[in-house]
Protein backbone atom coordinates (compact mmCIF):
# COMPACT_ATOMS: atom_id res chain seq x y z
CA UNK A 1 0.00 0.00 0.00
CA UNK A 2 1.30 3.45 -0.86
CA UNK A 3 2.46 5.31 2.20
CA UNK A 4 -0.02 7.93 3.42
CA UNK A 5 1.04 11.44 4.34
CA UNK A 6 0.15 13.11 7.62
CA UNK A 7 -2.18 15.45 5.73
CA UNK A 8 -4.06 12.48 4.25
CA UNK A 9 -4.43 10.94 7.71
CA UNK A 10 -5.74 14.23 9.10
CA UNK A 11 -8.22 14.57 6.23
CA UNK A 12 -9.47 11.04 6.90
CA UNK A 13 -9.92 11.89 10.57
CA UNK A 14 -12.01 14.96 9.73
CA UNK A 15 -14.28 12.73 7.67
CA UNK A 16 -14.65 10.40 10.66
CA UNK A 17 -12.69 7.65 8.92
CA UNK A 18 -9.76 5.62 10.23
CA UNK A 19 -7.18 3.43 8.52
CA UNK A 20 -7.81 -0.30 8.77
CA UNK A 21 -5.36 -1.41 11.44
CA UNK A 22 -5.58 -4.98 10.23
CA UNK A 23 -3.49 -3.81 7.29
CA UNK A 24 -0.06 -2.25 7.37
CA UNK A 25 -1.23 1.17 6.17
CA UNK A 26 2.23 2.70 6.53
CA UNK A 27 5.18 0.94 4.99
CA UNK A 28 7.79 0.06 7.53
CA UNK A 29 9.37 -2.73 9.55
CA UNK A 30 7.44 -5.83 10.60
CA UNK A 31 6.15 -5.56 14.18
CA UNK A 32 7.35 -8.99 15.27
CA UNK A 33 7.53 -8.38 19.03
CA UNK A 34 4.54 -8.51 21.36
CA UNK A 35 3.86 -8.10 25.10
CA UNK A 36 0.71 -7.60 27.16
CA UNK A 37 0.46 -5.02 29.94
CA UNK A 38 -2.44 -4.23 32.29
CA UNK A 39 -2.88 -0.46 32.74
CA UNK A 40 -5.49 0.09 35.46
CA UNK A 41 -6.07 -3.68 35.27
CA UNK A 42 -7.16 -3.79 31.59
CA UNK A 43 -5.32 -5.96 29.00
CA UNK A 44 -3.21 -3.91 26.57
CA UNK A 45 -1.26 -5.59 23.75
CA UNK A 46 1.79 -3.79 22.42
CA UNK A 47 3.23 -4.84 19.06
CA UNK A 48 6.54 -3.32 17.97
CA UNK A 49 9.82 -3.94 16.21
CA UNK A 50 12.12 -2.68 19.01
CA UNK A 51 12.63 -4.13 22.49
CA UNK A 52 13.36 -0.63 23.81
CA UNK A 53 9.66 0.20 23.41
CA UNK A 54 8.76 -2.46 25.98
CA UNK A 55 11.22 -0.95 28.44
CA UNK A 56 9.47 2.43 28.08
CA UNK A 57 5.99 0.95 28.42
CA UNK A 58 7.23 -1.03 31.43
CA UNK A 59 7.83 2.22 33.27
CA UNK A 60 4.22 3.21 32.61
CA UNK A 61 2.29 0.03 33.25
CA UNK A 62 4.46 -2.87 34.49
CA UNK A 63 3.40 -2.58 38.17
CA UNK A 64 -0.29 -3.07 37.36
CA UNK A 65 -1.95 -6.46 37.83
CA UNK A 66 -4.71 -7.86 35.65
CA UNK A 67 -8.19 -7.17 37.02
CA UNK A 68 -10.53 -7.31 34.01
CA UNK A 69 -11.18 -9.85 31.24
CA UNK A 70 -12.02 -7.31 28.54
CA UNK A 71 -11.06 -7.51 24.87
CA UNK A 72 -7.39 -6.45 24.69
CA UNK A 73 -6.61 -2.94 23.52
CA UNK A 74 -4.09 -3.23 20.69
CA UNK A 75 -1.26 -0.78 20.03
CA UNK A 76 1.19 -0.94 17.13
CA UNK A 77 4.35 1.05 17.79
CA UNK A 78 6.55 1.27 14.72
CA UNK A 79 10.14 2.48 15.11
CA UNK A 80 11.88 3.63 11.96
CA UNK A 81 15.67 3.80 11.79
CA UNK A 82 16.35 7.50 11.82
CA UNK A 83 18.51 9.68 14.04
CA UNK A 84 17.28 13.05 15.31
CA UNK A 85 19.34 15.95 16.62
CA UNK A 86 16.79 17.00 19.26
CA UNK A 87 13.49 15.84 20.68
CA UNK A 88 10.50 16.37 18.40
CA UNK A 89 7.94 19.16 19.06
CA UNK A 90 5.09 18.53 21.49
CA UNK A 91 2.32 16.76 19.52
CA UNK A 92 -0.83 18.65 18.58
CA UNK A 93 -3.99 16.70 19.33
CA UNK A 94 -7.25 16.49 17.42
CA UNK A 95 -10.46 14.61 18.10
CA UNK A 96 -12.85 13.82 15.26
CA UNK A 97 -15.66 11.40 16.03
CA UNK A 98 -14.10 8.21 17.34
CA UNK A 99 -10.58 9.12 16.19
CA UNK A 100 -7.84 10.84 18.19
CA UNK A 101 -4.71 11.94 16.37
CA UNK A 102 -1.53 13.42 17.80
CA UNK A 103 1.05 14.85 15.40
CA UNK A 104 4.51 16.13 16.28
CA UNK A 105 6.06 15.80 12.81
CA UNK A 106 6.07 13.39 9.87
CA UNK A 107 8.19 10.87 11.83
CA UNK A 108 6.48 11.09 15.22
CA UNK A 109 2.71 10.76 15.50
CA UNK A 110 -0.03 8.53 16.84
CA UNK A 111 -3.60 7.67 15.88
CA UNK A 112 -6.26 6.07 18.07
CA UNK A 113 -9.43 4.44 16.77
CA UNK A 114 -11.65 4.32 19.86
CA UNK A 115 -14.30 2.17 18.17
CA UNK A 116 -11.86 -0.56 17.22
CA UNK A 117 -9.80 -0.36 20.43
CA UNK A 118 -6.67 0.02 18.31
CA UNK A 119 -3.82 2.51 18.20
CA UNK A 120 -0.85 3.20 15.98
CA UNK A 121 2.27 5.18 16.82
CA UNK A 122 5.25 6.03 14.64
CA UNK A 123 8.60 6.83 16.26
CA UNK A 124 12.25 6.94 15.26
CA UNK A 125 15.19 5.11 16.75
CA UNK A 126 16.70 8.47 17.65
CA UNK A 127 13.69 9.41 19.79
CA UNK A 128 14.18 6.31 21.98
CA UNK A 129 17.01 8.16 23.72
CA UNK A 130 14.47 10.64 25.12
CA UNK A 131 12.65 8.04 27.21
CA UNK A 132 10.88 10.24 29.75
CA UNK A 133 9.63 12.69 27.11
CA UNK A 134 8.61 9.89 24.78
CA UNK A 135 6.56 8.17 27.47
CA UNK A 136 4.74 11.32 28.44
CA UNK A 137 4.04 12.84 25.03
CA UNK A 138 3.38 9.66 23.02
CA UNK A 139 3.12 6.29 24.75
CA UNK A 140 1.07 7.42 27.75
CA UNK A 141 -1.87 8.24 25.45
CA UNK A 142 -2.29 4.82 23.88
CA UNK A 143 -4.08 2.89 26.64
CA UNK A 144 -5.86 5.44 28.91
CA UNK A 145 -7.78 7.07 26.06
CA UNK A 146 -9.34 3.73 25.12
CA UNK A 147 -10.08 2.82 28.73
CA UNK A 148 -11.80 6.12 29.52
CA UNK A 149 -13.79 6.01 26.28
CA UNK A 150 -15.11 2.47 26.72
CA UNK A 151 -14.77 1.14 30.25
CA UNK A 152 -14.55 4.04 32.69
CA UNK A 153 -15.22 7.73 33.32
CA UNK A 154 -12.28 9.95 34.20
CA UNK A 155 -12.78 12.27 37.16
CA UNK A 156 -10.32 15.04 38.01
CA UNK A 157 -9.79 13.90 41.59
CA UNK A 158 -7.53 12.14 44.03
CA UNK A 159 -8.64 8.99 45.81
CA UNK A 160 -7.65 7.64 49.22
CA UNK A 161 -9.26 5.24 51.66
CA UNK A 162 -9.03 4.39 55.35
CA UNK A 163 -10.27 1.11 56.82
CA UNK A 164 -12.05 0.38 53.53
CA UNK A 165 -13.84 3.74 53.42
CA UNK A 166 -12.96 5.56 50.19
CA UNK A 167 -12.93 9.33 49.70
CA UNK A 168 -12.88 11.05 46.31
CA UNK A 169 -10.93 14.31 46.70
CA UNK A 170 -12.14 16.88 44.18
CA UNK A 171 -11.20 20.50 43.55
CA UNK A 172 -9.90 22.93 40.96
CA UNK A 173 -6.45 22.60 39.44
CA UNK A 174 -3.95 23.70 42.06
CA UNK A 175 -6.37 23.11 44.95
CA UNK A 176 -4.01 20.57 46.50
CA UNK A 177 -5.54 17.21 45.55
CA UNK A 178 -2.15 15.55 45.02
CA UNK A 179 -0.68 17.08 48.17
CA UNK A 180 -3.57 15.94 50.38
CA UNK A 181 -3.72 12.49 48.74
CA UNK A 182 0.00 11.92 49.28
CA UNK A 183 -0.12 13.29 52.83
CA UNK A 184 -2.95 10.89 53.66
CA UNK A 185 -0.92 8.01 52.21
CA UNK A 186 2.08 8.96 54.35
CA UNK A 187 -0.24 9.01 57.37
CA UNK A 188 -1.28 5.38 56.81
CA UNK A 189 -4.21 5.72 54.41
CA UNK A 190 -4.47 3.53 51.29
CA UNK A 191 -3.50 5.46 48.17
CA UNK A 192 -5.16 4.96 44.76
CA UNK A 193 -4.81 8.23 42.80
CA UNK A 194 -3.55 11.78 43.19
CA UNK A 195 -5.54 13.80 40.64
CA UNK A 196 -7.05 11.45 38.05
CA UNK A 197 -9.41 8.67 39.11
CA UNK A 198 -11.42 6.35 36.85
CA UNK A 199 -15.00 5.51 37.81
CA UNK A 200 -15.39 1.96 36.54
CA UNK A 201 -18.49 1.44 34.42
CA UNK A 202 -20.50 -1.74 34.80
CA UNK A 203 -19.35 -2.18 38.40
CA UNK A 204 -21.74 -2.61 41.29
CA UNK A 205 -21.34 0.32 43.62
CA UNK A 206 -18.94 3.16 42.90
CA UNK A 207 -15.50 1.71 42.37
CA UNK A 208 -12.58 3.88 41.27
CA UNK A 209 -9.26 2.88 39.73
CA UNK A 210 -6.11 4.98 39.61
CA UNK A 211 -2.36 4.99 39.13
CA UNK A 212 -1.41 4.10 42.68
CA UNK A 213 2.17 3.46 41.57
CA UNK A 214 3.03 7.14 41.03
CA UNK A 215 2.28 10.53 42.50
CA UNK A 216 2.79 13.94 40.88
CA UNK A 217 3.59 16.89 43.13
CA UNK A 218 4.36 20.53 42.51
CA UNK A 219 7.98 21.59 43.17
CA UNK A 220 6.98 23.59 46.26
CA UNK A 221 5.79 20.33 47.85
CA UNK A 222 9.40 19.90 49.00
CA UNK A 223 8.49 22.26 51.85
CA UNK A 224 6.14 19.55 53.14
CA UNK A 225 7.74 16.34 51.88
CA UNK A 226 11.55 16.02 52.12
CA UNK A 227 11.61 13.20 49.54
CA UNK A 228 10.73 15.74 46.81
CA UNK A 229 13.76 17.96 47.47
CA UNK A 230 16.18 18.09 44.52
CA UNK A 231 14.19 15.83 42.17
CA UNK A 232 14.00 16.85 38.49
CA UNK A 233 10.82 18.17 36.91
CA UNK A 234 8.71 15.74 34.90
CA UNK A 235 7.73 16.68 31.33
CA UNK A 236 4.24 18.09 31.11
CA UNK A 237 2.28 19.33 28.13
CA UNK A 238 0.91 22.56 29.55
CA UNK A 239 -0.04 23.49 33.08
CA UNK A 240 2.25 24.00 36.03
CA UNK A 241 5.52 22.06 36.44
CA UNK A 242 5.43 18.89 38.51
CA UNK A 243 7.65 16.15 39.91
CA UNK A 244 6.76 12.48 39.54
CA UNK A 245 7.62 9.99 42.28
CA UNK A 246 7.22 6.19 42.25
CA UNK A 247 5.33 5.03 45.31
CA UNK A 248 6.77 1.51 45.57
CA UNK A 249 9.97 2.50 47.45
CA UNK A 250 7.96 4.40 50.08
CA UNK A 251 6.26 1.36 51.66
CA UNK A 252 2.83 2.96 51.35
CA UNK A 253 -0.48 1.11 51.34
CA UNK A 254 -1.52 0.95 47.67
CA UNK A 255 -4.68 -0.22 45.89
CA UNK A 256 -5.35 -0.17 42.13
CA UNK A 257 -9.07 0.24 42.82
CA UNK A 258 -11.30 1.00 45.80
CA UNK A 259 -14.97 1.70 46.55
CA UNK A 260 -16.01 5.35 47.07
CA UNK A 261 -18.14 6.33 50.08
CA UNK A 262 -17.75 10.13 50.23
CA UNK A 263 -16.87 13.06 47.97
CA UNK A 264 -14.85 15.89 49.50
CA UNK A 265 -14.08 19.18 47.73
CA UNK A 266 -10.94 20.67 49.16
CA UNK A 267 -10.51 24.37 49.96
CA UNK A 268 -7.14 25.09 51.57
CA UNK A 269 -7.27 28.86 50.98
CA UNK A 270 -10.23 29.43 53.31
CA UNK A 271 -8.05 30.95 56.04
CA UNK A 272 -10.41 30.14 58.91
CA UNK A 273 -10.66 27.13 61.22
CA UNK A 274 -10.64 23.61 59.79
CA UNK A 275 -14.20 22.61 58.91
CA UNK A 276 -16.06 19.90 57.02
CA UNK A 277 -19.36 21.23 55.70
CA UNK A 278 -22.12 19.82 53.46
CA UNK A 279 -21.55 20.84 49.86
CA UNK A 280 -23.54 21.12 46.63
CA UNK A 281 -24.02 18.01 44.50
CA UNK A 282 -24.52 20.28 41.50
CA UNK A 283 -20.87 21.25 41.83
CA UNK A 284 -19.98 17.54 41.61
CA UNK A 285 -21.92 17.19 38.37
CA UNK A 286 -20.42 20.34 36.86
CA UNK A 287 -16.84 19.59 37.94
CA UNK A 288 -16.91 15.96 36.78
CA UNK A 289 -18.23 16.90 33.35
CA UNK A 290 -15.44 19.43 32.78
CA UNK A 291 -12.81 16.68 32.69
CA UNK A 292 -14.75 14.65 30.15
CA UNK A 293 -13.19 14.06 26.74
CA UNK A 294 -13.59 11.49 24.01
CA UNK A 295 -16.15 10.60 21.37
CA UNK A 296 -19.70 11.91 21.59
CA UNK A 297 -21.23 8.43 21.37
CA UNK A 298 -19.83 7.52 24.79
CA UNK A 299 -20.96 10.75 26.45
CA UNK A 300 -24.35 9.35 27.50
CA UNK A 301 -22.69 6.46 29.35
CA UNK A 302 -20.26 8.76 31.09
CA UNK A 303 -23.03 11.19 32.07
CA UNK A 304 -24.89 8.28 33.66
CA UNK A 305 -21.74 7.31 35.55
CA UNK A 306 -21.43 10.84 36.90
CA UNK A 307 -25.07 10.81 38.00
CA UNK A 308 -24.30 7.68 40.04
CA UNK A 309 -21.79 9.76 41.99
CA UNK A 310 -24.58 11.96 43.29
CA UNK A 311 -25.74 9.13 45.54
CA UNK A 312 -22.76 9.90 47.77
CA UNK A 313 -22.65 12.51 50.52
CA UNK A 314 -20.64 15.56 49.45
CA UNK A 315 -18.61 17.81 51.75
CA UNK A 316 -16.26 20.78 51.51
CA UNK A 317 -13.06 20.54 53.55
CA UNK A 318 -11.85 23.99 54.57
CA UNK A 319 -8.34 23.90 55.97
CA UNK A 320 -4.91 25.45 55.87
CA UNK A 321 -2.93 23.05 58.07
CA UNK A 322 -2.36 19.73 56.32
CA UNK A 323 -2.38 17.63 59.50
CA UNK A 324 -5.65 19.19 60.64
CA UNK A 325 -7.17 18.45 57.23
CA UNK A 326 -6.19 14.78 57.49
CA UNK A 327 -7.54 14.59 61.03
CA UNK A 328 -10.88 15.96 59.85
CA UNK A 329 -11.06 13.33 57.10
CA UNK A 330 -10.30 10.63 59.67
CA UNK A 331 -13.21 11.90 61.75
CA UNK A 332 -15.45 11.63 58.67
CA UNK A 333 -14.45 7.98 58.27
CA UNK A 334 -15.05 7.23 61.95
CA UNK A 335 -18.26 9.18 62.49
CA UNK A 336 -19.78 9.59 59.01
CA UNK A 337 -19.95 13.38 59.30
Q: How confident is the model over 28-54, as pLDDT tens digits? A: 789 999 999 999 999 999 999 999 999
Name the residue with higher pLDDT: 23 or 298. Answer: 298
Q: Work out the number of other CB atoms within 10 angstroms of the CB of residue 220.
A: 11
With a CB cutoff of 8 Å and minimum separation 6, the contacts of 250 are 185, 186, 227
DSSP 245-274: EESGGGT-EE-SEEEEEEEEEEETT--SS-
pLDDT band for position 22 (cuts 50, 70, 90): very low
Same domain flag for 174 and 42: no
Confidence at residue 3, expressed as pLDDT on a 0 to 100 scale: 46
Mean pLDDT for 52-80 is 96
Distance CA 312, CA 110 (A): 38
In a domain, 240, yes or no: yes
Q: Helix axis angle, 281-290 relative to 299-309, nearest 10°?
A: 150
Residue 157 has pLDDT above 80, yes or no: yes
- The number of helix segments (H) and strand segments (E) in the chain equals 8, 19
pLDDT band for position 275 (cuts 50, 70, 90): very high
| Residue 190: CATH number of its domain | 3.40.50
Please, where are the H alpha helices in 123-193?
131-137, 144-150, 177-186
Q: What percent of the chain has pLDDT over 90?
A: 66
- Final residue belonging to a domain, choices 118, 150, 182: 150
Residue 16 has pLDDT above 50, yes or no: yes
Q: What residues pair up with 35 in beta bridges, in sequence order?
A: 46
Q: What is the pLDDT of residues 160-196, one digit of tens each?
A: 999 999 999 999 888 899 999 999 999 999 999 998 9
Question: Could you tell me if 76 and 47 are in contact, meaning their C-beta atoms sit under 8 angstroms apart?
Answer: yes
Residue 256 has pLDDT above 90, yes or no: yes
pLDDT band for position 20 (cuts 50, 70, 90): low
Average pLDDT, the chain: 89
Confidence at residue 39, expressed as pLDDT on a 0 to 100 scale: 97
Mean pLDDT for 121-126 is 96
Confidence at residue 24, expressed as pLDDT on a 0 to 100 scale: 43
Same domain flag for 120 and 196: no
Same domain flag for 40 and 187: no
Residue 102 has pLDDT above 80, yes or no: yes
Same domain flag for 99 and 195: no
Confidence at residue 8, expressed as pLDDT on a 0 to 100 scale: 66
Mean pLDDT for 248-272 is 93
Domain that holds residue 262: 152-335
Question: Could you tell me if 160 and 181 are in contact, meaning their C-beta atoms sit under 8 angstroms apart?
Answer: yes
**Residues shown for the chain:** 337
Mean pLDDT for 121-130 is 95
pLDDT band for position 218 (cuts 50, 70, 90): confident
Question: Could you tell me if 268 and 176 are in contact, meaning their C-beta atoms sit under 8 angstroms apart?
Answer: yes
Confidence at residue 228, expressed as pLDDT on a 0 to 100 scale: 86
Same domain flag for 314 and 175: yes
Distance CA 134, CA 175 (A): 28
Name the residue with higher pLDDT: 110 or 12. Answer: 110
- Final residue belonging to a domain, choices 150, 174, 193: 150
Name the residue with higher pLDDT: 308 or 241. Answer: 308
Confidence at residue 17, expressed as pLDDT on a 0 to 100 scale: 66
- Final residue belonging to a domain, choices 131, 150, 169: 150
Q: What percent of the chain has pLDDT over 70?
A: 89
Closest CA to 76 of 42, 113, 103, 104: 113
pTM for the model stands at: 0.87
pLDDT band for position 10 (cuts 50, 70, 90): low
In a domain, 1, yes or no: no
Confidence at residue 276, expressed as pLDDT on a 0 to 100 scale: 96
DSSP 9-56: HHHHHHTT----TTS--S------EEEEE-GGG--EEEEES-HHHHHH
Distance CA 136, CA 204 (A): 33
How many CA within 13 A on the CB side of residue 290? Answer: 13
Q: What share of the chain is helix, strand, coil (3-state, %, to 5)?
A: 30, 30, 40
Q: How many domains does the chain contain in total?
A: 2
Return the sign of the alpha-carbon dihedral for residues 100, 104, 246, 179. negative
Same domain flag for 222 and 242: yes
What DSSP state is assigned to residue 297?
A: G
DSSP 177-246: HHHHHHHHHHTTPEEEESS-EEEETT-SS-EEE--TTEEEE-GGGGGT-GGGTTPPPBP-SSSS-BEEEE
Name the residue with higher pLDDT: 84 or 7. Answer: 84
Same domain flag for 329 and 204: yes
Same domain flag for 224 and 202: yes
Amino acid sequence: MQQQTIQQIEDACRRGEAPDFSRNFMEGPVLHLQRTFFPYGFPFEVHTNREEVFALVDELWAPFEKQFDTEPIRAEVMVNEKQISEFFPEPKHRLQGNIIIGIADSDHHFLLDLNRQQSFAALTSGSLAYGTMLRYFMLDHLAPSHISATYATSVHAGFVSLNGCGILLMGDSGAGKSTLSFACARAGWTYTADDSALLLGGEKGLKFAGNCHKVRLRPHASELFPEVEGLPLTPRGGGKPSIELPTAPMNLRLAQSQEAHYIVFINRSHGGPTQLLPYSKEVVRYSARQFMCGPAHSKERRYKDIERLLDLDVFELRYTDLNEGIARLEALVRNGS
